[in-house]
Amino acid sequence: MISPVTNPFFFEDPRALTEVRPIFIYQAIPGSSPVASGSLFWYGTQLRAALTEKISLTINKLGGIGATGSATAPLDQNTFDSNGFSEFWLTPKWTFFRDERNGTVAAGGLQIQVPGSSNVYQNTGNLGLTPFASVGQTFLRSSYGAFNTMGMFGYNFGANNLRSDYLLFSAHLDYDVANWHKIYPFLDLNWSHVTSGGSNIPLLTVSGADLVNFGGASSTNANQLTLAPGMRYKFSENIQTGIAFEFPIAKPQETLLNFRLSLDVIFRY
């Protein structure tokens, strides 16, 4: 199997892994956005440590975030058009099922989100929590290759009412070309749905999804649904890279995502 490239902060591989994973994300804001124009970018790394075959610890988000462009009310231009430390996310994970013969693996965990700097709205509320479950499956093996799929479902909520709460779902499908274990074209689907807007910014209708939790008071029922084709290439089992091009397929005006380019490199031990 390969790890997903898109939605990297939430879409957790169900396997217990030990790795260092630098990530770069560039995101263009849609011209239809009522509150901002320009782009967002994230740069940093993820760290994973498999303590046993079942218990692992992930630092999902460790890095910086920036925005270039302009913002209108209710967003603040000085806070939006800046750079700073992103939120810090930490996840203990339990891989409770692993069947290598049938290619099945499943895990559950709890993501802990600690606020970062005030720049680009990284300090909303005092804590976020995301319980989640993820599963992976290999199927249709043949001499030409094999399909692999992964899925994740979770619910993000804040410890107080400043942050917006939302449902999360991600699905991944890839193909191991010719069973070379090197070239994996893939297609990802990512969805988030705000169940309850926060109280941090009155009248804000836009959701920042995985990059920014604005806590918009009027963002309830905002959706982000995206599709992402991409490719992962394994130089070896220890070194691999991935690229994905992500775009919305429903209501881009409710989000800050018009187009996203995601790049990563994995150094696995």
The string of DSSP letters for the chain reads -----SSTTT---SS---EEEEEEEEEEPPTT-SSEEEEEEEEEEEEEEESSSSEEEEEEEEEEEEEEEEE-TTS-HHHHSSEEEPPEEEEEEEEEEEETTTTEEEEEEEEEEE---TGGG---SS-EEEEEEEEEEEEEEETTEEEEEEEEEEEEEESSTTS-EEEEEEEEEEEEETT-SSEEEEEEEEEEEEEE--SSBTT---BBTTTB---BTT-TT-EEEEEEEEEEEESSSSEEEEEEEEEEEE-GGGBS-SEEEEEEEEEE-
Determine whether 142 is exposed, middle or buried from the number of CB atoms within 10 Å of its CB (0-12, 13-18, 19+): exposed
What is the number of other CB atoms lying within 10 angstroms of the CB of residue 30? Answer: 19
pTM of the model: 0.95
Residue-level pLDDT, tens digit, the chain, 269 residues: 999 999 999 999 999 999 999 999 999 999 888 899 999 999 999 999 999 999 999 999 999 999 999 999 999 999 999 999 999 999 999 999 999 999 999 999 999 999 999 999 999 999 999 999 999 999 999 999 999 999 999 999 999 999 999 999 999 999 999 999 999 999 999 999 999 999 999 999 999 999 999 999 999 999 999 999 999 999 999 999 999 999 999 876 678 999 999 999 999 99
Tokens 């109280």 correspond to what residue? 199
pLDDT (0 to 100) of residue 31: 86
- How many CA atoms are closer than 13 Å to the CA of 35, on its beta-carbon side? 25
Q: Cα 7 to the chain's mean position, in Å?
A: 2
The residues pairing with 133 across neighbouring beta strands, listed in sequence order, are 108, 153
As a whole number of angstroms, the distance between CA 79 and CA 82 comes to: 6
pLDDT (0 to 100) of residue 98: 96
What is the number of other CB atoms lying within 10 angstroms of the CB of residue 81? Answer: 18
pLDDT (0 to 100) of residue 252: 63
Question: Is the bond into 74 cis (omega within 30 degrees of 0)?
Answer: yes
pLDDT (0 to 100) of residue 15: 97
